[in-house]
Structure 1
Amino acid sequence: MSKKLLDIKNLHSRVEEAEILKGLNLQINKGEIHIIMGPNGAGKSTLANVLMGHPKHEITDGEIIFNDENINDLEVNKRAKEGLFLSFQYPEEIPGVTVENFLRTAKSSITEEKQGIFAFRKILKEKMELLEMDESYATRYLNQGFSGGEKKKNEILQMAVLEPKLAILDETDSGLDIDAIRIVSKGVKTYSSDDNAILVITHYNKILDYLEPDFVHILVDGKIVKTGGVELAHEIEEKGYEEFKRELS
């Protein structure tokens, strides 16, 4: 059985008239953790949105093969059912919908199986304990009045409950203190298994200390220009992205 989960081939995309992705290639296998880093405006969040099927992002060339299926034209909800998950950089507040009800409804929709209230509550409690979240969060309205750190933890809680095949985490670590990064990283590593994969988009090296990724990719001007290990992130910390930008010019 193939371990290949995601295969992006020569991907080009645009928003209105602006070309953002300009021939991006990336392959992710089951059991792997990948990190994407790059300067502002390189296309990191665009890649996440294109993978998830954001309607404002038009694919103009290339293929996204997920689980051996071309998903270029697949609707967002169907991508979610296939096992794609995107944690938002700026999670929305949804008044009137509790965290528990939102997650139980989402789980039912993804699995197409009704989630019993008490059985689901037990699972939710276990996941929340892992992320050091107080039980009271389950009864709060989704993200309303949450701190930045609480919103990011809640995104990881969604991932843990929905159990996607590929989790795309868009700057989950931004705005977090060291303790919160440690807790979020623990949740990500606990979720990681031989049957799924994780793609983390980040500006910071600190989360790499906890995640121990398999690959680090540098994204500049809509393309992945270099791939390596954690040492690549340390190189960026020391020298910045200028060297990679010059290689493109």
Structure 2
Amino acid sequence: MQDQPAKEHAPVLKRVMLKISGEALMGPQGFGLHPPTVERIAREVQSVHSMGVEVCMVIGGGNIFRGLQGSAQGMERTTADYMGMLATVMNALGMQGALESLGLHTRVISAIPMDQVCEPYIRRRAVRHLEKKRIVIFAAGTGNPYFTTDTAATLRASEMSCQAIFKGTKVDGVYDKDPIKYPDAKRYETVTYDEVLSKHLGVMDASAIALARENRLPIIVFSLDAPGGFRSILAGEGTSTRVEG
């Protein structure tokens, strides 16, 4: 009798938020969108979607324009932040194109209305898209200056009743110091919200961590550079750090 192939574990989570930085889309370039990198990330999302998981996304805009940097260079902060929000819309549209080229139905929903290119944010409509197994990309942050896309991801994840936020980074978890600079850096398996804040671990900004703590929303930090990393973490494998209460 032939051996049966081992079955992959069914995902524990049914609806998740994937938060990635705009810099993740740059690839080896120093600016903008690198199409092969965007396609690779889209395939990661496709592999998770094929498991039956409902996926929503928030993408930063730092590969095009970062509001804080503009503000630091003398630009008025509110204007700089709105420019950063527009950069996230550009990234969302780029990711939508990559996902739809793979046959995935995708909606870009913007906190700043721009009906010609994407939908305005209406919570019940966004939930319905997820129920119909469409991938939803939330763009333009919260629609307000002084809030980062980390906070936007936590807010939308809470509104969509996501079971976890997956923070895709260049390293496979949260470390006590920069593992790229310090070979003896220690990775945490789990860490509390309060430890992230008190030790300044840099998972997300303080507003996002506080919001996640209030809503008991776990944050899983993993490497987006590892092929199949997103899928393996959802299947209960791979290396990551879990931030929770």
TM-score in terms of structure 2 length: 0.33
Higher strand share: 1
TM-score in terms of structure 1 length: 0.33
Work out which structure has the larger RCO, using CA pairs closer than 8 Å and 6 or more positions apart in sequence.
1
